[in-house]
Structures are given as structure tokens and as C-alpha cells.
Amino acid sequence: MAYQDFRDFLAALQAQGELIEVERHVAPELEVAKALRKSAAIEGPAVIFKNNGSNFPLVGGIYNSRSKALIAFQSTEDNVVQNILDGLARRIPPVLTENAPVHENIVLGDDIDLSALPICKYSPDDGGPYITSGIVVSKDPETGVPDIGHYRFELIDKKTLSFLALPNHRFAKNIAKALQKGQKTFRASLVIGVDPLIAYTCPIQVSDDTNDFEVAGGLRGAPVELVKCRTNDVEVPARAELVIEFEADFGTTVMEGPLGEYTGYYTPGAAKPIARPTAITYRNGAYFQALLTGVPPTENHILKQLPFEASLLQQLRQRFPTVQRVAVPPSGGTQFYVVLSMKPRFAGEARAAILDVMSSNLRPKRVIAVDPDIDVQDSNQVEWATAFRMQPARDVFIMSDLPAGPLDPSSDESLPNDQRLGSALGIDATYPYGTVIKVAGEACSPALAEHGKEFLEVADIPGWRAYDFPELRKTVPK
């Protein structure tokens, strides 16, 4: 059964020992970040900071570990990817309601005061406090199709925000279309505190004409309930904790940034558009949400990992049906490094799959293909494959003049984001096509024997995974 809302998910985390409450005062200015960093470092619990100087309890760390992601998807490690793929294969349209918990409190006009919210500063040199957990709901000005995605918003003053929307993301594309139509402003909404599968929908890689709420409905197995905003024509999740309806002004800019970003580096400050809140609506007893950014792995990386892996796997299988698994490790910012496993059907197919990944919207800088016997989530196994199944002169290649990855500090930051170019490294660490592998004396791929003459035998011990070793079990921490 799908979680109804943010509170349902918090209850599930608490029931499994993945949520704690802190009664003492913890300041949103860096102290919250320190606490969340310590918890994330040990894949520890999410935290409710009840005493933070505001009237809103502040929740952070709900996406900081793979175990919490599995709770969100109500899955196990063995079936989570397939469950996501099954969800992506069905689209369930949202339903509209007129009465919604998120409209229990409505703040308009002069009463709007963003400083009343516990907005955090995460890194010492950040340009100011940032909303990093907010999901922007915007519509394509031409088609009306809604998009949802995570975007950063800096608090400038109590009635002003500024934001970053990268040109390859749909929110920025919607803004660009509005500008082309002669609009000087653009209205959208920033949503905080939702059913986790709505949040996990945001990184899913889909086409620009996709209604993301239909994708979320498929993942949930139930429609998302929406309500129309009070000061714009956007529909938002009816059971969200808090919504900031805003108007982006393209004619007025302020200095936005720096921010310690998902790359683990600060992005430089630059002039960005402002966003003026037109309404703030929230539930009774609403939670606000913190989301830690910075050196991997943090919440921001785990939140993207499963959606990126599953949607990239789905796309690859359409062209390369023998692709079995995909990993997008947090160490690469859950974007710049991808590993895929596949059984090539002909010479050069693994290289073709690598090139396909390089051309994806993730814009990775390093892509490795390995055989299906390699666990793509195990860095030791991937390094073993690259050490002994490839020759650099034969199996490594570089593609240049590709669109640079978002916020990459090694790219030319003197250029606008849409003009930056980068390169990508491909490594085909699959056995040369036609090689027959033997494990424990038995050929693993006898069908390939006719295509080649090379035989390699893996020195492994049969049955070791199933071996009962009770003494060792006692020494493994839970």
C-alpha cells in the first residue's frame, strides 16, 4: 500500500528504528548540517529537530541511506529495481481535489515572511541559507504538461528567493519557452514534505512531454492527489507539508551562491533571477525539511541513485536487451560515473552501450561496461574487471566536445552553463567477444564457443556463498 504522505513515511522510518527526535535546541545555521553529516557518515537515522528557533519541526536525513530508500519503495535489495521498472511501465493519472490538508493555513501578501521558516545553511561559505529539499512544480507554457524536480533556492530576504535552474532541466526549459513567448515572469510552486515516491520520481529520466505525476502514480500504485494552488494555475500534492507559490522575475537578478553542491565543491556565486512568493500554504503542525548537500555520499546522492539506475536501465534495455544491471555510484556524484553489466551479442556492442550512456542526460564522465558475473555495486569487483579483462590500448576510449555535466568544477566555469563542453572516458571491461569462461571447470557461455578460440578459467571456490559458517555470522554487525 502506498504511503499517503510525508507523515506516513516518517512513521514507517520510526517503526524500523530509522528516525530519532532531538528536543534540545539545534540551530539551522550550520549546526543542523553537522548533525546530518555525522548521521549520514554511518548511514544513521533521520532526525527531527523539534527545537530549531521556528514554529516548524525540521526533519532531515530521510534519504541518507540505501536502507531508507528500500523502506520508501517498500522493497528489498533483490526486488527494488524490478519494482521500479514495473512502476515505470504503468502510468496512473493524478486526481484533483478541492479540499486539501496543505490549504489548512494560507499566508498571502504582506503576511508572507520566509524568515519564519527553518531554512538551513549547510556549508560555511554558502552564500546564505538554502532550501535544498524543495520540489518545483512547473508547467510547459505551450503544452501545460507538469514537471517536478528538485532545485536549490537561496533565501535573500523575508520576501525574496533566488534559484538555479540548469539549461538541460525541464524547469529551465519551461522558463526558456516563457521567455520566447514574451513573458517577463513565470509562476510555479515549491513543494516541501511529500510522499517519498513523489520525491524519488523527480530524478527519473523521462521525455520532456511526460506528466511526472503519472510516473509517480505508477511508482506508488495509486494516483497522486492534487489541489490547485491559490495564486497560480499549478496543481500540487494535496497532502504536502508546505508549499511556496512564487513568481520568477527574469528582469531582476541578485547574486546567488556559492553553495556546497552535490559534486563536493562550491559552485561560484553568480547573478540569478529572483522568485517572489505569492502565497505560503501549509498543514496544521507542518514539518519543514532539510536536505544535506556536499561531499558524497549525502542525502542528495542516495535520493537520485535508485531512480537514475532504474530509468537508465529501462532506456538501455530498449536498445541493448542483454544489459542486466546499472550502477550510478554516489562517489561520482550519482551522475559522473556509471557502471553497466551486459552480455554482448556481437563485437563492439558493449562500446555502443557505453556511447549510449554518454549521450544520456546524466552526462557522465566515466562509463564502464562489465560482464554479468560482476556486481556493478561492488567497487572491488568492478576494479578487478578493469584490471584483468581489458587492455587500455584496445578497450579504453575518450569522447570529446560533449555537453559538460552539471556544475562540474573541472569544466570551464568562465562560460555559461549551456556553452560548457566536456569529455567522457569509456572502458569496455567485458571479455573480448567469443571468449568462453570456465568457472569450477564448467563453461559459463558454451554458445559462444564457436565464435572464438580463447578459454579463460576463473579461480573461484564452488559453493562458498551457500556455505554455513555460524561462527562468522556472530561477528557480523547487524
The separation between CA 198 and the C-alpha centre of its own chain, rounded to angstroms, equals 12
Rounded CA-CA distance 84/66 in Å is: 15
Rounded CA-CA distance 158/114 in Å is: 4
Count of domains observed in the chain: 3
**110 and 156 together in one domain:** yes
Could you report the per-residue pLDDT of 186-226, keeping only the tens digit for each?
Answer: 999 999 999 999 999 998 888 888 999 999 999 999 999 99
At 438, the pLDDT band (50, 70, 90 cuts) reads low
Query: In terms of residue numbers, what domain contains 464?
Result: 434-478
Rounded CA-CA distance 86/70 in Å is: 15
Grid coordinates of 467:
556455505
**Cβ–Cβ under 8 Å, residues 232 and 278:** yes
**106 and 247 together in one domain:** yes
Rounded CA-CA distance 62/68 in Å is: 7
**218 and 351 together in one domain:** no
Could you report the per-residue pLDDT of 138-187, keeping only the tens digit for each?
Answer: 999 999 999 999 999 999 999 999 999 887 788 889 988 988 888 888 99
**Cβ–Cβ under 8 Å, residues 264 and 122:** no
pTM: 0.83
User: For position 136, which CATH number holds?
Assistant: 2.30.110.10
Residue 476 falls inside a structural domain = yes
**474 and 363 together in one domain:** no
**364 and 449 together in one domain:** no
**284 and 376 together in one domain:** no
Rounded CA-CA distance 323/326 in Å is: 8
Give the per-residue pLDDT at 439.
Answer: 61
Residue 1 falls inside a structural domain = no
Rounded CA-CA distance 45/236 in Å is: 28
Give the per-residue pLDDT at 376.
Answer: 92
At 473, the pLDDT band (50, 70, 90 cuts) reads low
User: For position 395, which CATH number holds?
Assistant: 3.40.1670.10
Residue 420 falls inside a structural domain = yes
Number of neighbouring beta carbons within 10 Å of residue 360: 16
**185 and 240 together in one domain:** yes
Give the per-residue pLDDT at 455.
Answer: 61
**415 and 470 together in one domain:** no
**Cβ–Cβ under 8 Å, residues 315 and 359:** no
Which residues in 311-330 are b (16+ Cβ under 10 Å) and which e? bbbbbbeeebeebbbbbbbb
**258 and 400 together in one domain:** no
Could you report the per-residue pLDDT of 333-390, keeping only the tens digit for each?
Answer: 878 899 999 999 888 999 999 999 998 888 899 999 999 989 999 999 999 999 989 9
**248 and 363 together in one domain:** no
Rounded CA-CA distance 165/152 in Å is: 8
Could you report the per-residue pLDDT of 27-57, keeping only the tens digit for each?
Answer: 999 899 999 998 888 888 999 999 999 999 9
**362 and 378 together in one domain:** yes
pLDDT beyond 90 at 414: no
pLDDT beyond 70 at 471: no
Residue 301 falls inside a structural domain = no
Residue with cell 553568480: 270
**471 and 413 together in one domain:** no
**Cβ–Cβ under 8 Å, residues 440 and 462:** yes
Q: What are phi and psi of 384, to 5 degrees?
A: -60, -45
**Cβ–Cβ under 8 Å, residues 93 and 271:** no
**Cβ–Cβ under 8 Å, residues 241 and 205:** no
Residue 18 falls inside a structural domain = yes
Residue 308 falls inside a structural domain = no
Residue 115 falls inside a structural domain = yes
Residue 94 falls inside a structural domain = yes
Could you report the per-residue pLDDT of 284-330, keeping only the tens digit for each?
Answer: 999 999 999 888 888 888 888 888 898 899 999 999 999 999 999 88
- Torsion sign (Cα): 83, 190, 31, 297: positive
